[in-house]
Structure 1
Amino acid sequence: MVRVLSYNVRSMRDDRRALARVIRACAPDVVCVQEAPRFFRWRKHASLLARESGLVWVTGGATACGPMILSSLRAHVEHTEDILLPRTPGLHQRGFATAVLRIGGARLSVISTHLSTNAHERYEQAGLLLDRVAAAADGAHTVVGGDFNDHPDGRSFRRIAAELQDCWAVRPWGAEYTSRPGDPFQRLDAVFAGKEVEVLGCGVPVGLPGVTDRDLRAATDHLPVLAALRVPAGT
């Protein structure tokens, strides 16, 4: 089994220790981070989050304009690449952090992403994401974690879900909505997986031992999404 966490950390501007406690309690093998620190001394902050969470930095951060990947020591890193996406003037630069990881006998092509708030640009980025999935390394199974800035009934979300499994929709576990308690109920964050991956459960890890409501509120303005996956052995 592989545990994949997707988490928008809001540039670690909130309670960093609460953030690290939430991540540790989820015991992830891979973390797809959005809004990682990307300005002054960003590498130091990324390394600090990884260390306090019991993980290692794999790729991304400023070099992907926010998306980042962390992993446990179970993962062997085969390849990494940070990709900048075409930018619409006046809007934020966006990117993908990507890595091919081997965990046990499984090979994962992991993408962390944070799509645009602009509907047209977001739809185009969803297409670029699927292009990247199609170009994944032979024998590697796809996992995508991100803040998609779109609801499940939105055009961009549906475009991705037509090609990949929306893990919450396949096997709901925990809570659904990823906005912080007290905010409007919405699910903008998700983990997607290739259709050959078995989804054992996916959702916001409320009630998980060590994950407290207080820490979830203090850590960032998003809630994390944790997916437990059974990934076929690769070559």
Structure 2
Amino acid sequence: MKIATYNMRSGGRGPSHWRRIENALPPDILLAQEAADPTDLFATDPEIDCTWSAASSGAKQLKWGSAVIVRGIVRQTLTVPGFEGWIVGAEIDAPKTLGDARPLRAFSLHAPTRTGVSYVELVHAALDAMAPFADGAHLIIGGDFNLTISPPSASESRKIKAQEQAIQERLRIEFALANCWRSANPEAPLAQTLRWSRDPSIAYHIDGLFVPLNWLSRLRACHVVTGDDWLSLSDHNPIIAEFDFG
């Protein structure tokens, strides 16, 4: 099974952008941010289901939002109060080889920009709002956190803020979630997931993918998708994790 997260930037580049994802990745679960409504695009595909909601900025509704797109069936759309369009959730069937009847709840998170409120505060508030959905379910959270979401390796000189580290620890301890990229690449320097337009050389690592800790034995790989053909599509790069559920 492949799970991916990807900020498509301002609604993406239309159907060709979606086709690029499908041809190059192709994920079983895609957690998309800044995505245009994909409902019509997948309406005639019996193998793919999706849920999407538009984000808003103040009183203005934006043309893009967050989405969960699955190769399967969305059993239920999950609305996170206070974060409509910035966080979208879906309840779907968990892999049968997990051996229990609990559903899988997947959330596509995009930390919003709100005047006078830090990203750290907003991500904590988002986690507070998602916490009730963790009960009785397998939980996946992925997306654009707008802060450093993985710890640096032991060999790196770069440091992260204590507030960012607290969020990473909260995901691991309170939510019992594993960071796919860091788990699969324990010694690697933080990979760039965002290219800042003013200085693309800065290795911002603000996109992440988190799955239940007891899935780690099934994690086979996780990497940031790079290449010149992705540069024109978005200022973010997709992250994709591969699992063996037999």
**Does the TM-score normalized on the shorter chain lie above 0.5?**
yes
CA apart distance, 1:186: 1.2
Q: Report what 2:180 is aligned to.
A: 167
Q: CA–CA distance in 2 between the matches of 1:9 and 1:49? A: 16
Q: Report what 2:7 is aligned to.
A: 8
CA RMSD of aligned residues (A): 3.5
Q: Which has the higher contact order (CA 8 A, sep 6+)?
A: 1
Aligned length: 210
- Which of 194, 197, 213 matches 1:195? 213
Residue by residue over 1:5-31, the C-alpha shift from the partner in whole angstroms, topping out at 9 and shown as x without a partner, is 101111334364145213432121111
Structure number with the higher strand fraction is 2
Q: Report what 1:90 is aligned to.
A: none
Q: Report what 1:40 is aligned to.
A: none
Q: CA–CA distance in 2 between the matches of 1:156 and 1:70? A: 31
CA apart distance, 1:228: 1.8
- Which of 122, 129, 136 matches 2:133? 136
Q: Report what 1:225 is aligned to.
A: 239
For 1:96, give the aligned amino acid: I
CA apart distance, 1:61: 2.6
Q: Is the 8 A contact 2:80 2:129 kept in 1?
A: no
SS in 1 for 2:182: helix
Residue by residue over 1:167-194, the C-alpha shift from the partner in whole angstroms, topping out at 9 and shown as x without a partner, is 1111129982112497132111111122
CA apart distance, 1:35: 0.7
- TM-score computed with the length of structure 1 as normaliser: 0.73
Residue by residue over 1:86-113, the C-alpha shift from the partner in whole angstroms, topping out at 9 and shown as x without a partner, is 7xxxxxx863101111143153211111
Q: CA–CA distance in 2 between the matches of 1:223 and 1:189? A: 9
- 5+ residue gaps, structure 1: 38-42, 87-92, 207-212
2:102 maps to 1:95: no
Q: Report what 1:83 is aligned to.
A: 80
- Which of 189, 204, 215 matches 1:186? 204
2:117 maps to 1:104: no
SS in 2 for 1:67: strand
Q: Could you say if the C-alpha distance between residues 121 and 167 of structure 1 is closer, same or farther in structure 2, counting changes exceeding 3 Å?
A: same
- 5+ residue gaps, structure 2: 57-61, 150-159, 173-177
Residue by residue over 1:57-79, the C-alpha shift from the partner in whole angstroms, topping out at 9 and shown as x without a partner, is 42123168711111113xx3232
Aligned residue runs from structure 1 range 115-134, under 5 A: 115-117=111-113, 120-134=117-131
Q: Is the 8 A contact 2:33 2:109 kept in 1?
A: yes
Q: CA–CA distance in 1 between the matches of 2:46 and 2:165? A: 34
Q: Could you say if the C-alpha distance between residues 95 and 228 of structure 1 is closer, same or farther in structure 2, counting changes exceeding 3 Å?
A: same
- Which of 160, 165, 187 matches 1:158? 165
Q: CA–CA distance in 2 between the matches of 1:53 and 1:158? A: 41
For 1:203, give the aligned amino acid: H
